[in-house]
Chains A and B, each alone.
Chain A
Amino acid sequence: MTELTGLTLKAALEGLKSKEFSSTEITQAHVEAVAAAKALNAYVLETPEKALDMARAADARIARGEAGPLDGAPLGIKDLFCTQGVRTTACSRILGDFKPTYESTVTANLWRDGAVMLGKLNLDEFAMGSSNETSAFGPVSNPWRANGSNQTLTPGGSSGGSAAAVAADLCLGATATDTGGSIRQPAAFTGTVGIKPTYGRCSRWGVVAFASSLDQAGPIAKTVDDAAILLRSMSGHDPKDSTSLPDAVPDFPSFVGKGVKGLRVGVPKEYRVDGMPAEIEALWAQGIAWLKDAGCEIVEVSLPHTKYALPTYYIVAPAEASSNLARYDGMRYGLRAEGRNLEEVYENTRGQGFGEEVKRRILIGAYVLSAGYYDAYYLKAQKVRRRIADDFKTVFERCDALLTPATPSAAFALGAKDTMDPVTMYLNDVFTVTANLAGVPAMSLPAGLDEKGLPLGLQLIGRHKDEGTLFSLAGAIEKAADFRAKPQAWWL
């Protein structure tokens, strides 16, 4: 059965359509793989019975000739998406055994198209983290290890469970979310493909909120084709999200494999940061060479406000988080702690229910929004954010997309954060956070291995609503890179 879990989503959908195997068979193979991979801690909730029920229903639809675009394909769902009747925790103690009585729009779209749910995937608590270590369920282990090493590495975060599950063939693809890099950094650390689409492309309705002006859902997948197939199903206008794009969803898969000859690709000089490992520099040069070979024109560009993106993010995101997370008051759902009066119940509930990183960010948010500091911090950050977004507008007058490294390093060891101060951890998102601030689409895809045998990723950033060009360029890089490496299954 292992060969079924090794398929790409695209190949699996073809096999299901031609009745080479049934959804029940491929779902059962995945259920078994998930059960055997508990050492990775990728899933925080397995739903095998639901999966097999959904698979049987998919098989019946396929038999009737009524198959949807994802019919019978088993997927993993980041535990930030509300799933009706299935525990949803955001990997926080404060949500306890919360069982939503509604379904998020993104997951509803996947089930509409016939997908099968294998379970809920681990993440940093409320998606706040870059190593999956802030999860109340403990960290995910990266399926990849350095050559000859037994050290466990982080899969990145916050979508660490999604990335690890895809890399270890524990699902055909996964949902994820990205507020500052939470899809792209884990994808880069695990040799998978992740895209954060244009802000508003995927509905935020039913996705546990972190920072609403930055949060955006997207897929983590095995290939560029698979990412395009998943994003097409996840996207679409939703009246229940007031910031949802009213546009029709482009046929993303049709862009993969399109010629890229004549496209102008910008290389932003500000992404060449101090202390960048030579391997990342070499990978970037390789990516440039591949695109040149494919007929792209490479132009050096400047995004002068890049260095201010992370400090801007660490005002805007905590400010929005402190406001969004005010809802966890112990009254209507989740944990309620004891206290002598109402105020103490609030304080104890939140003190006990939130983890350290979440509390830290709520405190920063409350501080920058508090009387006397609002203009100096929050308003200032919103203005700098405009400068950063304008940088992108300016360069996209001269080029069609940008090529950058996805992360400043390969995956680091679990536990390394204990010796890191918070700012050092935040620097992980230095290449990814700009796209969230500007609201433009960005994608990470595997481009090679470092000298220790760990995957490294390149990032493509596109114009507002122009995921299509990203899929075409990513297709060209994927073809040239021919990245086929897989992690050794040490977890079995």
Chain B
Amino acid sequence: MAIDAATVRKVAKLARISEAEERLAPLAAELNGIMAWIEQLGEVDTDGVEPMSSAVDLKLPMREDVVTEGGDPQRVLANAPLTRNNFFVVPKVVE
């Protein structure tokens, strides 16, 4: 299915990225070029193939469910754009 400007607008919304209206059509053309090239994967017979989600055959290790670090709000907040009383300050979420 071809990607049009409306699809790019929708995907940009999903990705929370503002895109100028005049960028939507050129982006749609680029993404179409990339996706058309990707379509060749359809040629590969993958019936019964287990999807590969990791490059290592390891079981994810478990560790003790204990606190290992913490109690250091200054370190956590050190790079925050806005803080108050050891909290992150964010724009109003609930009206």
Chain A interface residues (CB < 8 Å from chain B): 98-99, 101, 199-200, 213-214, 239, 242-243, 245-246, 305, 307-308, 311-312, 314-315, 322, 326, 329-336, 339, 341-348, 350-352, 354, 359-360, 362-367, 370, 377, 379-387, 389, 421-423, 436-439
CA distance A359 to B17 in the complex (A): 8
Q: B interface, by DSSP: helix, strand, loop or mixed?
A: loop
A334 in contact with B52 given A387-B46, A423-B37 (CB within 8 Å): no
Q: Min CB distance, B27 to chain A, in Å?
A: 7
Q: Are B49 and A333 in contact (CB under 8 A)?
A: no
Contacts of B31 in A (CB 8 A): 360, 363-364, 367
Q: A interface, by DSSP: helix, strand, loop or mixed?
A: helix
B81 at the interface (CB under 8 A from A): yes
Q: Are B37 and A381 in contact (CB under 8 A)?
A: no
A199 in contact with B56 given A345-B91, A363-B11, A383-B46 (CB within 8 Å): yes
Contacts of A331 in B (CB 8 A): 80-81, 88, 90
Q: Are B78 and A99 in contact (CB under 8 A)?
A: yes
CA distance A421 to B91 in the complex (A): 39
B66 at the interface (CB under 8 A from A): no
Chain B interface residues (CB < 8 Å from chain A): 3, 7-8, 11-19, 27, 30-31, 33-35, 37-38, 40-44, 46, 49-56, 58, 60-61, 63, 75-76, 78-82, 88, 90-93
Contacts of B49 in A (CB 8 A): 383, 386-387
Contacts of A343 in B (CB 8 A): 16
**Most chain A beta carbons < 10 A, residue from B8, B11, B80:** B11
CA distance A311 to B90 in the complex (A): 39
Q: Which residue of B lies closest to A382 (CB)?
A: B51
CA distance A330 to B18 in the complex (A): 14
Q: Which of A99, A322, A348, A436 contacts B15 (CB 8 A)?
A: A322
Q: Which of B15, B40, B78, B91 contacts A366 (CB 8 A)?
A: B15
Q: Are B30 and A242 in contact (CB under 8 A)?
A: no
Contacts of B61 in A (CB 8 A): 239, 242, 246
Q: Min CB distance, B3 to chain A, in Å?
A: 7
Contacts of A422 in B (CB 8 A): 30, 33-34
Q: Are B30 and A360 in contact (CB under 8 A)?
A: yes
10 closest Cβ contacts across the A-B interface? A439-B55, A351-B18, A382-B51, A333-B79, A383-B46, A199-B55, A386-B52, A347-B18, A336-B81, A366-B15
Contacts of A336 in B (CB 8 A): 81-82
Q: Min CB distance, B93 to chain A, in Å?
A: 6
Q: Which residue of A lies closest to B63 (CB)?
A: A239
A348 in contact with B38 given A336-B81, A363-B11 (CB within 8 Å): no
